[in-house]
């Protein structure tokens, strides 16, 4: 086994690894207090820049003392770039990979979704709240995360679908690299005791994954998130990680983005994953499902 035990030190506390990261989409976990999180041994909480940008806005959160003051949390927080949510605004497909299965048609507006345009500059999309056009760039994403004040932040990247052809995937990886370099440059101009994780891309293509690791590990990122399409099922996810994990620098932490079901956890920790986030556990709990060692998932009445 390549499983590892570690401690990540942040301005708001220590994160023991390996560990699950609870997802509070709007900086809050429904029906779960921070005290209950701590009692359950959950050190790190995830909040989504996309949702917080649309409501209530990073400026308001900053005026309230950043996310820690806004939600009354003393522990570590990580925010994403907003990219995952933006790219999930395109129409769902039956060929979506494991990381995009949470997309539902009910989240879309109209036949074409809410994503308007993606280019070198960034992304333009419609707000699901009022239809207003919103631009997200590598620079504006980092600036928003500076106002939110999380301990760990993520650069903007593109999330191509699982079924994309190889040439298009390669173009996407290169653009994500350019976006991430711009994000890092903005971050380093005003660090504010925040750490930034690079996002490794390449889909299920081994050569592109290797190239992504080699390029991003040459830049002064503080850790590495594993993103992009990770396969159509858990078996393919584990196969991607089995190839990828030995390539990552051992002296920096890593995070598996958007994956947190039981099978994936059991498959990824022995490969050296430090932290992983997903709405899976809290969503299932809200809907009355219990996870048991002997009977699997059990629906409560």
What pTM was estimated for this model as a whole? Answer: 0.91
Catalytic residue among 43, 80, 151, 157: 80
Q: Which of the listed ranges 49-53, 282-286, 291-295 does the model predict with the highest average pLDDT?
A: 49-53
Q: How far apart are CA 101 and CA 252, in angstroms?
A: 29
Examine the pLDDT at 92 and tell me if it is beyond 80: no
Examine the pLDDT at 49 and tell me if it is beyond 80: yes
Predicted pLDDT of residue 195: 98
Examine the pLDDT at 91 and tell me if it is beyond 80: no
**DSSP-assigned states of every residue in 43-85:** --EEE-HHHHHHTT-HHHHHHTTHHHHHHT--S-EEE--SHHH
pLDDT tier for residue 111 given thresholds of 50, 70 and 90: very low
Q: What is the pLDDT of residues 112-123, one digit of tens each?
A: 679 999 999 999
Does the annotation count 205 as an active-site position?
A: no
Does the annotation count 74 as an active-site position?
A: no
Q: What is the pLDDT of residues 153-181, one digit of tens each?
A: 999 999 998 989 999 999 999 999 999 99
Element spanning 139, H or E: helix 138-148
Q: Which segments of the chain are extended strands (E)? A: 6-10, 13-17, 19-24, 45-47, 77-79, 115-118, 123-126, 133-136, 152-153, 195-200, 223-226, 254-256, 275-278, 289-292, 296-299
Q: What is the pLDDT of residues 233-251, one digit of tens each?
A: 999 999 999 999 999 999 9
């Amino acid at each position: 086994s390549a499983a590892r035990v570690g401690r990540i030190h942040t301005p708001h506390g220590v994160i023991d690894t390996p560990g699950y990261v609870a997802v509070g989409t709007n900086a809050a976990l429904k029906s779960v207090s921070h005290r209950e999180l701590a009692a359950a041994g959950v050190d790190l909480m995830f909040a989504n820049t996309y949702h917080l940008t649309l409501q209530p806005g990073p400026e308001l959160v900053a005026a309230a003392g950043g996310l820690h003051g806004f939600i009354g949390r003393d522990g570590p927080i990580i925010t994403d770039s907003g990219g995952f949510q933006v790219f999930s605004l395109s129409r769902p497909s039956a060929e979506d990979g494991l990381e995009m299965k949470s997309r539902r048609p009910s989240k879309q507006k109209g036949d074409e979704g809410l994503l308007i345009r993606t280019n070198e500059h960034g992304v333009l999309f419609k707000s699901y709240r009022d239809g207003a056009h919103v631009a997200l760039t590598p620079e504006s994403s980092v600036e928003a995360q500076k106002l939110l004040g999380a301990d760990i932040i993520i650069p903007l990247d593109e999330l191509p679908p699982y079924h994309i052809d190889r040439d298009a995937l390669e173009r996407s990886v290169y653009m994500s690299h350019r976006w991430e370099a711009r994000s890092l440059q903005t971050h380093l101009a005003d660090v504010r005791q925040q750490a930034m994780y690079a996002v490794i891309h390449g889909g299920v293509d081994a050569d592109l994954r290797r190239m992504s690791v080699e390029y991003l590990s040459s830049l002064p990122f503080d850790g590495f998130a594993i993103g992009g399409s990770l396969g159509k099922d858990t078996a393919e996810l584990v196969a991607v990680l089995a190839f990828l994990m030995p390539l990552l620098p051992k002296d920096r932490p890593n995070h598996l983005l958007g994956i947190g079901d039981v099978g994936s956890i059991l498959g990824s920790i022995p490969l050296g994953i430090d932290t992983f986030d997903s709405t899976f556990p809290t969503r299932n709990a809200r809907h009355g499902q219990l996870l048991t060692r002997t009977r699997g998932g059990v629906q409560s009445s």
